[in-house]
Amino acid sequence: MGAGALASGIARLLHGRGVRVSEIVSRPAVKSAQKAARLAHEVHAEAKTLATASFACDVLWFAVPDAAIVGVAKALARRLSRCEVRPKVVLHASGARSSRDLAPLAALGMATGSAHPMMTFVAGPPPDLTGAYFALEGAPEAVRRARSLARLLGARSFVLAPENKTLYHALGAMLSPMLAAELEAAAALGRRAGIAPRDLSRLMRPIIERTVSNVLSKGAAKSFSGPLVRGDVATVEAHLKALSRLPEENVYRALGVYAVEKLPVRRRSEMKRLLISHPIASGGR
């Protein structure tokens, strides 16, 4: 169900591992139908809508926006209540929502669960999931089938309590989209400093990769460096002066305050007063 970046990635990866993808089900809107048709052609499936799909499959995997899961599940349950052939297992791919959103389908006797890959999916070729993790929850049969599919894709999996899914998903947001936002803020400062865009990514890559490697191997505390660690109040004050009224000031200040509270920082009290005393930027220049 779905033909967006996540649905496309999952379908392509499964097809590449020899799994038969029989139908790509999308909304009937023109753009959705066109995306579904392109994806279906690529994975040797049929492009269908909720009204035309047969759903004669072992596993049906929802990869639709979180806000749409409950409505689609209700509509699908109404459709399948009149059908003799039904999927054995229904999964959704949301990291924030639990399998309870699929309750109308569970009431019809299908095993329901959720299987969320901790990976970023964007337009273009799908990511390699080798070594990545899927968070699973739901009925035992749904979890078993999801674990088998994850293993087929080279991924690992673990069972997550439904009540912990929102925090788990917030973790994912901070690991990828918010990290991308922080790096864009950093890149904006590079552009403001006069570094040519063609050179900026080459400048950023070594320090980013080294920092991530350090954090993953040593932990954040032993990977933390720079003026906060040294207690260099004058340098931080100069940073804030240069950032004044720029939107990037908000990012710098928020991360700085968190670092002062959680990581090894010298002259902690002075740093915290300095970081908190600067007003939130109201815009950019």
Mean local confidence (pLDDT), 214-229: 97
For residue 206, is pLDDT > 70? yes
pLDDT reported for residue 283: 44
Q: How does residue 215 score in pLDDT terms, banded at 50, 70 and 90?
A: very high
Mean local confidence (pLDDT), 244-261: 95
Per residue in 44-80, pLDDT (tens digit) is 999 999 999 999 999 999 999 999 999 999 999 999 9
Mean local confidence (pLDDT), 256-268: 96
pLDDT reported for residue 196: 95
Task: Evaluate whether the domain defined by 5-161 bears CATH number 3.40.50.720.
Answer: yes
Backbone region of residue 121 per phi and psi (left: phi > 0; alpha: psi in -120 to 50; beta: other values):
beta
| Across 175-179, 247-251, 279-283, least confident range | 279-283
Would you list the domain boundaries of the chain?
Answer: 5-161, 175-277
**How many residues are present in the chain?**
285
Buried b (16+ CB within 10 A) or exposed e, 211-240: eeeeeeeeeeeebbeebbeeebbeebbebb
Alpha helices (runs of H) in the chain, residue ranges in sequence order? 5-16, 30-42, 66-80, 103-106, 140-152, 165-175, 177-192, 197-218, 227-230, 233-243, 247-262, 268-277
pLDDT reported for residue 84: 85
pTM, entire model = 0.90
